[in-house]
Amino acid sequence: MASKLTPEQHLVMVLTERLISGVSIIGILFIILTYMFSSSFSKPINRLVFYASWGNLGLCIVAMISLNGPDAGDDSPLCQFQGFMAQLFLGVDAYWAFCMAVNIYLVFFRSYNTKQLRGLDHKYFVACYGFALVPSITYLFINTRDRGKIYGGAILWCWVSREWSFLRIAVLYAFMWVAVLIAIVIYIMAGRDVWRKRDALKGFLNPFNEDPFAKNVTMTTSVTVTSESRKPSISNLEVREVDESHFDRSYNAYSVNIEIGQQRPEQPRRPSRPAVFRIPTVTRAAALSEENADAFLYARVAFLFFIALLITWVPSSVNRAYALAHPETINYPLNFTSAVVFASQGVLNCAVYMATSQSACRRLWAKMLRRDYVPPTARKESFTTYAMGRESERGRRQRLDSDTTSFTELTAR
């Protein structure tokens, strides 16, 4: 392998870093602006992605400077600034992924809800950025006769120089991979728990299903009663309590019993078994899982964010391991791959953000086009509902004025 980049490789590296970083900056700005100014996006499952985006933005600035930093010289302000920014933001995604994994542990095994998780955010923010800030500032003031300054040319940009390369492993990569391994253990534990509850969490296993509880857990029944003055009066209808002896104990505990009866004052009331209609609702297991639906959604976002992190850090770790074993040579394919994945962190995180905020994105797009947003559930309106709406526009008043209406017609409305 060569010990120095050729002019062609130098140009390709610079153009690639800046092009991908530019796209990442657009994605990061989309995350920041929509989260701050749109209530549709500012939900608990997007909060930590929003916090991590500031670190991605700093890393994109490093990538935009690209090889101009090393070319300016190790002692130049540009190189020192780029090295400081790189040390500060390179590991931020890994630290936030670790914090997300800790939240997953608290949700699955300590029964934390989203309100309790929110109370930890400020601690995570201080820990993630504060832990990276300490060595970043310290490196600026270290300068020895044998090795010189810590910040210097590191092929892709200015970072920890070759003379201090052991600090790359000891201060960044070691902590990063410990955090990643702990996160992997937590996700394996949580995955086993999700697998045991797979019947109630089928939608959770689909990363593109924004609300996995919409079809499998939550059932919402809406009843609208419209009435107008008419004769004869309906005062002869009575709603009365049902004696417990009438209930069939074999019914599902999660059901609604409705009694429909009519009082006839002119005739003595005969004791009879009331007409009971059973409306099944969610099962007990589904109802229990619904209690912390936001937390399950948060877990899925955290897992997708973690996958994006691995895509970024595995090639970079391989490159750093190679550089440590062969300090005098440059593996251009590994360095080029590292440059691409680091610059694309913002793109990957934006993809996770948008995949878990599909309804908000559609609503925003409809607003930009000045169209009314129709949720997917409303588009799947049944023909019965449509027919009821059409009838109410054309002939409902005429039918309500009729004195004779059968029970079948009444319930059809």
- Which tokens is 155 given? 């092929």
Report pLDDT for 135.
94
Measured CA angle at 343 (ends 339, 346), to 5 deg: 155
The neighbour count for residue 92, using CB atoms within 10 Å, is 23
| Tens of each residue's pLDDT in the chain, 413 residues | 556 778 888 888 889 989 999 999 999 999 999 999 988 888 776 888 899 999 999 999 999 998 899 989 989 999 999 999 999 998 888 898 899 899 889 888 888 877 888 889 889 999 999 989 999 999 999 999 889 999 998 888 899 998 898 898 889 888 988 988 998 999 888 878 777 765 555 555 555 555 544 444 444 444 444 545 555 544 554 555 555 555 555 545 444 454 444 455 555 555 555 444 444 444 444 444 444 556 667 777 788 888 888 888 888 888 878 877 887 788 888 888 888 888 898 999 999 899 888 888 888 888 888 766 555 555 544 444 444 444 444 455 555 454 444 433 433 44
The reported pLDDT for the residue numbered 367 is 86
In 254-412, the DSSP E strands lie at 255-259, 276-280
Nearest Cα to Cα of residue 48 among 239, 404, 308, 397: 308
Beta carbons within 10 angstroms of residue 224's beta carbon: 6
Say if residues 75 and 115 touch (Cβ distance below 8 Å): no
Q: What is the pLDDT of residue 350?
A: 92
The 8 Å CB, 24+ separation contacts for 190-197 are 190/104, 190/105, 190/108, 190/299, 193/108, 193/109, 194/299, 197/285, 197/289
Token pair, residue 119, equals 């109370």
Cα separation, 322 vs 372, in Å, equals 55
pLDDT of residue 250: 52
Cβ atoms 186, 105 nearer than 8 A: yes
Radius of gyration of the chain from its Cα atoms, rounded to whole angstroms:
31
Cis peptide before 232 (omega within 30 of 0): yes
* Long-range Cβ contacts of 335-338 (<8 Å, 24+ apart): 335/13, 335/155, 335/156, 336/9, 336/12, 336/13, 336/16, 338/156
